[in-house]
Copies of this chain bind each other. A is one copy, B any other.
Amino acid sequence: MKRGQVPFTRSEAGLIRLISGWLAGQDRDRRLIRGIGDDCATVRLRGGRLLLTSDAFIEGVHFRRDWMKGWPAGWKALAANVSDVCAAGGAPGAALVSLELPPAFPVGWLKDFYAGLLACARKYRIVIAGGNIARGTKVAVHIALAGEAPEHLIGRAGARPGDLLAVTGSLGGSLAGLLCLKKGLRGTVARDAINRHFLPLPDPGVGRALAGFATAMVDVSDGLVHEASLLAAASGVRIAIVPGAVPVHPAAWLLAPVFRKDPAELALSSGEEYELLATIPQRRFHKAARALSLRGFALTPIGEVRRGKGVELVGGGHITARGFDHFNK
């Protein structure tokens, strides 16, 4: 693929590759410990090693205001960034909130948004240091989060053939919640799923613990198969997933028939899950699982790392479960 000729809106990953190429000259800068390609960047500033990450939360793309009140929107916009810091095994620190708001906008929604944002900030000991406000045509929230990097950096690269692939918690609940919103479903189970979609609860302690055992780690923000393929590409390995082994969120199990979907299909393609996907040497897996269970978290082996490239669903399965790509619909 020749640069400049790529119709880049075809794929988010292709676009990120282009940008990485344009910025490659920076690699010699000693302050840049890790640049583009992981959930967080790592830089050296004022002598310390910082994690930096940013995420967008855009009306009409990431949420709809008629579905989502301000409070969960504020929570989720920040929690998505916290999840990136968790995937880097670090601790969140300070955030900047850059807002686009339409000219005629209800202050009530914004007040709720800041209440949710602040609740999330309190839970994760983040200070909302400042930000920016600009006029836009819709609500868009761009949050940048600075955090403290761990001793040993972990990212997408590092998985080795023979490692187990494991995921924390369970998957599919967020997509089930989104489908409930789309179909206007109510009731206890639907509410569980919607809560899962609205209120992610990443756990920096889990990220830190897992980082001590894993060879590579990402958060499941854009779907399991999608994230596994990024991890495989960055590590130069092939990742085999056993679809039946993927832990399915209880609400996704119960709701799958309603949506005429296979529970495993929901679990494989659900994005915005903010669980962690890690590759772990086989002999260290049990220690890792024990460390997580002490924090009340499950760690489930769902496949393994092999030689080669790409993602393989063991036993066939639909490889349509692709996750979310901003430019490839």
Chain A residues with a Cβ under 8 A of chain B:
3-9, 12, 15-16, 18-19, 22-23, 25-26, 29, 31-32, 35-36, 38, 40-43, 45-50, 52-56, 58, 60-62, 93-94, 96-98, 100-105, 107-108, 110-111, 114-115, 118, 121, 127-138, 140, 142, 144, 146, 148, 326-327
When chains A and B are docked, how far (Å) is the Cα of A56 from the Cα of B105? 19
When chains A and B are docked, how far (Å) is the Cα of A322 from the Cα of B178? 45
Residues of chain B contacted by A38 (CB below 8 angstroms):
130
A61 adjacent to B134 (CB under 8 Å): yes
B94 adjacent to A52 (CB under 8 Å): yes
Report the nearest B residue to A3, measured CB to CB. B111
Among all A-B residue pairs, the 10 with the closest Cβ atoms: A46-B48, A144-B144, A41-B129, A142-B142, A41-B130, A56-B134, A98-B142, A43-B94, A22-B114, A54-B96
Residues of chain B contacted by A12 (CB below 8 angstroms):
133
When chains A and B are docked, how far (Å) is the Cα of A88 from the Cα of B68? 37
User: Taking A23-B118, A54-B98, A144-B96 as contacts, is the C-beta distance between A105 and B43 under 8 angstroms?
Assistant: no
From B16, B94, B102, B137, A138 is in contact (CB under 8 Å) with B137
Residues of chain B contacted by A25 (CB below 8 angstroms):
118
Residues of chain B contacted by A327 (CB below 8 angstroms):
101, 103, 135
B35 adjacent to A130 (CB under 8 Å): yes
B127 adjacent to A136 (CB under 8 Å): no
B55 adjacent to A46 (CB under 8 Å): no
CB distance from A49 to the nearest CB of B (A): 7
CB distance from A195 to the nearest CB of B (A): 24
When chains A and B are docked, how far (Å) is the Cα of A134 from the Cα of B139? 14
Residues of chain B contacted by A26 (CB below 8 angstroms):
118, 121, 127-128
* 5 A-B pairs (CB sep. < 8 Å): A18-B111, A26-B118, A32-B94, A52-B96, A132-B142
CB distance from A147 to the nearest CB of B (A): 8
B140 adjacent to A22 (CB under 8 Å): no
CB distance from A15 to the nearest CB of B (A): 6
